[in-house]
Amino acid sequence: MIQSCSTRAWSRALAVAALATLWFAAAGAAAQILKLDRLTDEQLGRLRKVALEKGSTIPIPAVLAGVLHLTPAQIAPAVRQATFQSDDGVKHGFAHLNDDTGYFFFRRSAEGLWAFHADKALKLELGARNFSAGQFIALPAKDGEEEFAAEMNAWSRVLSPRGVSLPTPDPRRAPGTAVPAPALPAPLPGAPAPGAGPAAPAR
């Protein structure tokens, strides 16, 4: 009887230890998801330079600007973007806000468009995504942070020494006269991309 109780107690202890291990593993995985590879000052400066000197000019639709709480001073009449396409065919975009208060990022894939408003320290202000034509919703804080972390990781990789470098601005060319970078990708059927299609009325 004593041996049976001891065996049951030992089994319970093993089960508790196994559950604790699984919990810590899950917590570690969640932390990995939220881990944000911050761009270095050099990378961010290079990205801003490319956008301003070699980027294309795009307007941001009022409906998206409203969801991201972007003001006319930040985006009117348009912003200059830099873009790249990752190996999986996903289009990524970056723009420096006109009033120097932060940045606009987007990611477009077959699943739709995600867009982000970040401050000067690359801290997420708001994230949004579209689920239907011309309609964007704000992402819950946790979802926004996870999606933004994934976007920052993508830019960190492309701007790293081993990444595919963005075009280097030609110092001999005046700002705004370079051949523009690719514009925002073509929208999915019935879902306009920023800068494409009629903008919704401003709020």
Domain boundaries, the chain: 1-34, 38-159
Residue, of 179 and 59, whose pLDDT is higher: 59
Q: Using alpha carbons, list the distances in angstroms from residue 81 to 11, 31, 120, 146, 149.
A: 60, 31, 16, 23, 20
pLDDT beyond 80 at 114? yes
Q: Is 193 left (phi over 0), alpha (psi -120 to 50) or beta?
A: beta
Please answer whether residues 30 and 157 qualify as being in contact, where contact means their C-beta atoms are separated by less than 8 angstroms.
no
pTM for the complete prediction?
Answer: 0.65
The average confidence (pLDDT) of the chain is: 74
- On the question of a cis peptide bond just before residue 77, with omega within 30 degrees of 0, the verdict is yes
pLDDT beyond 90 at 105? yes
127-157 as b/e, with b when 16 or more CB fall inside 10 Å? bbbbeeebebeebeeeebbbbbbebbebbbe
Query: Which residues are CB-neighbours of 13 under 8 A, at least 6 positions away?
Result: none
Q: How far is it, in rounded angstroms, from Cα 128 to Cα 111?
A: 13
Residue, of 134 and 105, whose pLDDT is higher: 105
pLDDT beyond 50 at 180? no
At 57-89, the pLDDT tens digits run 999 999 999 999 999 999 999 999 999 999 999
